[in-house]
């Protein structure tokens, strides 16, 4: 009887310890104050860091439309993505610098633009693998449009997931507002791309 009671007490203690560890995952992201007084948290840093890389890959896909014989609608879409996401990368990297956080390497950095590849986070929502990027580059003009649209829809869906997480967990007002803007704009572009595929 005593052995059974001791075993139950040990099991209960283990469960309580595991529950305590699990509870840490639900804790609020740590809050920080930048030198200029900006308040931000770990969720803001993760959003900015990941979205810089995510946007850079979208722009690398857009770069692949250059010099191809493609329809005017795809050309307008690609230029719209470039016009929106280039400045957003500048904003995000500016925040990371202000927050004294590292700015990540991307697939569009000079060193990676000539055959080298920055390490891509395959766990990031919507990110294409290097193999997928290579397949897109190798596609004929006839194959390219459908492949580009299919990949970019998935890419945008990933960005929307990341934007929702920032809206839910972020602290920095500018980052949360940008996340809302990204989510809305990319949802509209997904609708456009789906019509183009139909």
> Is 84 part of a structural domain of the chain?
yes
Phi–psi pair at 39, nearest 5 degrees: -100, 135
> Is 184 part of a structural domain of the chain?
yes
- Convert the pLDDT of each residue in 42-93 to its tens digit: 999 999 999 999 999 999 999 999 999 999 999 999 999 999 999 999 999 9
> Is 4 part of a structural domain of the chain?
no
CATH of the domain at 68: 1.20.1260.10
pTM here? 0.81
- In terms of phi and psi (left: phi > 0; alpha: psi -120 to 50; beta: otherwise), the region of 91 is alpha
Question: Cβ(120)–Cβ(53) under 8 Å?
Answer: yes
Residue of 155, 59, 53, 150 lying closest to 106 (CA atoms)? 53
Q: What is the CA radius of gyration of the chain?
A: 22
Q: How many domains does the chain have?
A: 1
d(CA 39, CA 37): 6
Q: Which two tokens stand for residue 157?
A: 């869906």
Residue 111 confidence class, pLDDT cut points 50, 70, 90: very low
- Convert the pLDDT of each residue in 115-134 to its tens digit: 444 455 557 999 999 999 99
């Amino acid at each position: 009887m005593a052995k059974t009671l001791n075993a139950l007490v040990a099991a209960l203690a283990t469960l309580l310890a595991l529950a305590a560890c699990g509870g840490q995952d639900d804790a609020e992201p740590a809050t920080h104050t930048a030198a200029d007084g900006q308040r931000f948290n770990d969720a803001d840093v993760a959003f900015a860091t990941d979205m810089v890389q995510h946007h850079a890959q979208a722009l690398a896909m857009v770069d692949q439309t250059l010099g191809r014989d493609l329809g005017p609608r795809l050309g307008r879409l690609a230029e719209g993505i470039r016009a929106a996401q280039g400045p957003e990368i500048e904003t995000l990297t500016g925040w990371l610098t202000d927050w004294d956080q590292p700015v990540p390497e991307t697939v569009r950095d000079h060193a990676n633009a000539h055959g080298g590849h920055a390490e891509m986070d395959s766990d990031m929502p919507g990110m294409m693998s290097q193999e997928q990027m290579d397949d897109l580059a190798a596609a004929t003009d006839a194959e390219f449009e459908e492949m580009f649209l299919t990949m970019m829809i998935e890419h945008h869906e990933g960005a929307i997931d990341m934007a929702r997480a920032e809206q839910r967990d972020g602290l920095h007002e500018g980052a949360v507002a940008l996340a809302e803007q990204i989510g809305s704009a990319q949802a509209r572009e997904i609708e456009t791309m789906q019509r183009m595929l139909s």
